[in-house]
Chain A
């Protein structure tokens, strides 16, 4: 199938308010190139679903304009937008068989019977449910229903597919499997996908780019690795992956690096990301797997800490430590079957590189 037959989407200073008193979406500007898999990630109430609903046409934008292939669509009713959509609880029509569900969008477009049957079968084959056409949705498992919903959103060859937390109702294993399937379907078809989720793993696994929403604002719009490696603010650092936060004050700035003094006087070197000058309060963000027990003098930061708790997780060991007065300091140690054992109550030295430690905006 042809690649990159997706549509381009553009949000142009879009605002949305439900009650006229507070904004759910605050001045959204977002460009989605054709064929991209973009995920809107955020906690509930962050405005991500509202953004999706405005694009689908079920919620009017209070201000601003949304463009689909450079065409403003604010005044186009949902059924004329030609956007495929997968809903949270699938919304498969319970009174129709799977094949009838898939034929529905073709029927309302007056597609000929023969072509309908062919497209329905092709869509079913695509999601590996070729033999299930005559079943009712209630007779399918959750994962199968999910695939039917995906097939139905794609059967009329839309250029843009929206997915509203489509995997929320599935168990963990099925969810992971479906993530890959959806990703592969996207790669094969080349349609543009806008995907909404609150699950960061889902977002990191599937997306070309992720827009992290909070409080009606896109906090960061980056590729998954950028998001994890270079969070632009504390919210993103907290929301994506696991994160140790250390509160302190900037005491020295040198180009792209800065020196931060923690509450107990410990001084740490960090990447200057979201602080400007000496005296700023800051929160340091540090990924647990970047902290080493095998320290050496070349490391930028070396601190002593007391081991509070050890949790054995098979492939790695989670070590909870008290470092610089913070007893929620987590270190992940890969399980290499090493001789050296850690013990609770032991005081050991840990260290990490300056680049792994980001000085971000202060949080309480």
Chain B
């Protein structure tokens, strides 16, 4: 079909308006109504989901605090060559004095100190100490000597190197930190082995998430199979049992695992009572990886069972009957005919559980001890305790990227259209 007639004229309505324009007008109200229907959710998602993510991405590279607190020093430092090995000259110190007077007046110098302390420990106290001494300094005398007298770290080239390195408004420093790396004299290098933590934590988070996903699949598949095979009345009853955990608080469930799994807990007591283990050989099942895996598998199990169930429900039992009538025994009928048709459910469940677990926080925090915590616990630590929000944002961004990359890989291997939630 073409929108022009044979003589090349644009098709028009009876009163001569172009047909497409008329159609657009006719459908405008419908489109507007459709948009208004989704608008509340759209706005909600923009405010509570998209905006925080953009803010987080921004925070992971944002670094205007140095420029804002020490504007003159940053300008003066542009002349200085950090590779020279020399402490900057009097002009820089003069600029620093001017900036510090203003900063101390506004009490912003301690904030800058804490910020730079993430990069080089000791700078926080340097700024606080200098802040106390700044009022006693004499503008007439050489300021370099007075600063050095206030704290001899001002005579240390690395202090100035850090200051100059982080003077731009945007920095990759948080990301380097998140990769256990730093910018040394020869460019990017890994931190000393005993200071590395994040790559290891990322690795552990991925590993434990995979283990949790697999154990959810192993436990959830037979249950979903049973639910799909049973008559509706019975399966509805069982489905309530599957959903029951959703009705209890996450915290309560996690605490229950603490009661069950701890060394003086129910399971250990029982095992000792039946003489399977000795009293001194009680199993350590909590505050380590085992605890995290057990508790999180339990909590995320419904997210595996539900998509599996909804896919299995659509697999007609006649397929298995047909396979059997064609000569397949129970196992072959299941493996060659039933299982391949349930793969979309496995895909959906696995993606759901994996993505939920990779960002899980509360359960590893409560039952994970030190060996069972996830990267998200470290992010929470930087948000609420160390207040290094930039690093937290960088770690969060990396987590987001990791999930997206895994998603793409999953799409390449399994195919995203092979995921069905029901």
State the CA gap A58–B337 with chains docked (Å). Answer: 17
List residues of A (173-230) whose CB comes within 8 Å of B's CBs. none
A66: Cβ under 8 A from any B Cβ: no
List residues of B (161-196) whose CB comes within 8 Å of A's CBs. none
State the CA gap A82–B327 with chains docked (Å). Answer: 7
Residues of A within 8 A of B324 (CB): 57-58, 77-79
B323: Cβ under 8 A from any A Cβ: yes
Interface segment out of the listed A85-93, A244-252, A354-362: A85-93
Contact A93 B327 (CB under 8 A): no
Known contacts A87-B321, A93-B319: does B341 contact A79 (CB below 8 Å)? no
Contact A91 B332 (CB under 8 A): no
Known contacts A93-B337, A95-B341, A104-B336: does B316 contact A78 (CB below 8 Å)? no
Contact A91 B341 (CB under 8 A): no
Contact A79 B319 (CB under 8 A): no
B318: Cβ under 8 A from any A Cβ: yes
A84: Cβ under 8 A from any B Cβ: yes
A105: Cβ under 8 A from any B Cβ: yes
Contact A91 B328 (CB under 8 A): no
Find B321's partner among A91, A104, A108 (CB 8 Å cutoff).
Answer: A91
List residues of B (283-335) whose CB comes within 8 Å of A's CBs. 316, 318-319, 321-330, 332-333
Residues of A within 8 A of B328 (CB): 79, 104-105, 108
State the CA gap A105–B325 with chains docked (Å). Answer: 9
A78-117 vs B, Cβ < 8 Å mask (1 yes, 0 no): 1111111101110101110000000011001100000000
Residues of A within 8 A of B336 (CB): 104
Minimum Cβ distance to chain A for residue B318 (Å): 4
Contact A152 B341 (CB under 8 A): no
Residues of B within 8 A of A85 (CB): 321-322, 325-326
Contact B318 A95 (CB under 8 A): no
Contact A56 B341 (CB under 8 A): no
A11: Cβ under 8 A from any B Cβ: no
B340: Cβ under 8 A from any A Cβ: yes
Q: Which residue of B lies closest to A93 (CB)?
A: B337
State the CA gap A83–B324 with chains docked (Å). Answer: 10
Residues of B within 8 A of A77 (CB): 324, 329
State the CA gap A79–B321 with chains docked (Å). Answer: 9
Residues of B within 8 A of A88 (CB): 318
State the CA gap A105–B336 with chains docked (Å). Answer: 11
Known contacts A93-B337, A95-B341, A104-B336: does B322 contact A87 (CB below 8 Å)? yes
How many residues of chain A have a CB within 8 Å of chain B? 27
List residues of B (122-176) whose CB comes within 8 Å of A's CBs. none
Residues of B within 8 A of A37 (CB): none
Known contacts A104-B336, A108-B332: does B327 contact A91 (CB below 8 Å)? no
Contact B325 A89 (CB under 8 A): no
State the CA gap A46–B328 with chains docked (Å). Answer: 30
A329: Cβ under 8 A from any B Cβ: no
State the CA gap A106–B340 with chains docked (Å). Answer: 19
A156: Cβ under 8 A from any B Cβ: yes
Residue picked from B322, B333, B337, most chain A C-beta under 10 Å: B322
Residue picked from B316, B319, B324, B333, most chain A C-beta under 10 Å: B324
Q: Which residue of A lies closest to B328 (CB)?
A: A108
Find A56's partner among B316, B325, B337 (CB 8 Å cutoff).
Answer: B325
State the CA gap A152–B322 with chains docked (Å). Answer: 10
State the CA gap A94–B314 with chains docked (Å). Answer: 12
Residues of A within 8 A of B332 (CB): 108
Contact A87 B326 (CB under 8 A): no
Residues of B within 8 A of A95 (CB): 340-341
A146-175 vs B, Cβ < 8 Å mask (1 yes, 0 no): 000000110010000010000000000000
Residues of B within 8 A of A89 (CB): 316, 318
State the CA gap A95–B341 with chains docked (Å). Answer: 7
Contact A108 B327 (CB under 8 A): yes
Contact A83 B325 (CB under 8 A): yes
Minimum Cβ distance to chain B for residue A112 (Å): 16
Residues of B within 8 A of A83 (CB): 325
Residues of B within 8 A of A104 (CB): 323, 326, 328, 336
State the CA gap A152–B328 with chains docked (Å). Answer: 13
Residue picked from A83, A91, A156, most chain B C-beta under 10 Å: A91
State the CA gap A88–B322 with chains docked (Å). Answer: 11
Known contacts A104-B328, A156-B327: does B340 contact A91 (CB below 8 Å)? no
Contact B322 A79 (CB under 8 A): no
State the CA gap A109–B326 with chains docked (Å). Answer: 9
State the CA gap A78–B333 with chains docked (Å). Answer: 12
B6-34 vs A, Cβ < 8 Å mask (1 yes, 0 no): 00000000000000000000000000000
B39-80 vs A, Cβ < 8 Å mask (1 yes, 0 no): 000000000000000000000000000000000000000000
Residues of B within 8 A of A152 (CB): 326
Contact B319 A91 (CB under 8 A): yes
Contact A87 B318 (CB under 8 A): yes
List residues of B (365-387) whose CB comes within 8 Å of A's CBs. none
Residues of B within 8 A of A91 (CB): 316, 318-319, 321-322
State the CA gap A161–B130 with chains docked (Å). Answer: 96
Residues of B within 8 A of A156 (CB): 326-327
Contact A79 B325 (CB under 8 A): yes
Find B329's partner among A58, A79, A93, A105 (CB 8 Å cutoff).
Answer: A79
Minimum Cβ distance to chain B for residue A346 (Å): 55
State the CA gap A89–B330 with chains docked (Å). Answer: 21
Residues of B within 8 A of A81 (CB): 325
Known contacts A95-B340, A95-B341, A104-B336: does B321 contact A58 (CB below 8 Å)? yes
Residues of B within 8 A of A87 (CB): 318, 321-322
State the CA gap A162–B341 with chains docked (Å). Answer: 25
Contact B327 A79 (CB under 8 A): yes
Minimum Cβ distance to chain A for residue B29 (Å): 38
Residues of B within 8 A of A79 (CB): 324-330, 333
Q: Which residue of A lies closest to B329 (CB)?
A: A79
State the CA gap A80–B329 with chains docked (Å). Answer: 8
Residues of B within 8 A of A105 (CB): 326-328
State the CA gap A82–B325 with chains docked (Å). Answer: 7
Q: Which residue of A lies closest to B320 (CB)?
A: A91
Residue picked from A56, A57, A85, most chain B C-beta under 10 Å: A85
**Additional 11 contacts, C-beta under 8 A, given A79-B333, A91-B319:** A56-B325, A77-B324, A79-B325, A80-B327, A82-B327, A83-B325, A87-B322, A91-B318, A95-B340, A105-B327, A108-B329
Interface residues in chain B, defined as those with a beta carbon under 8 Å from any beta carbon in chain A: 316, 318-319, 321-330, 332-333, 336-337, 340-341
- The 4 nearest A-B residue pairs measured at CB: A105-B326, A91-B322, A85-B325, A91-B318
Interface residues in chain A, defined as those with a beta carbon under 8 Å from any beta carbon in chain B: 56-58, 77-85, 87-89, 91, 93-95, 104-105, 108-109, 152-153, 156, 162
Cβ contacts A to B, 26 pairs, < 8 Å: A56-B321, A58-B324, A78-B321, A78-B324, A79-B324, A79-B325, A79-B327, A79-B328, A79-B329, A79-B330, A79-B333, A80-B327, A82-B327, A84-B326, A89-B318, A91-B318, A91-B319, A91-B322, A95-B340, A104-B336, A108-B326, A108-B327, A108-B328, A108-B329, A108-B332, A109-B327
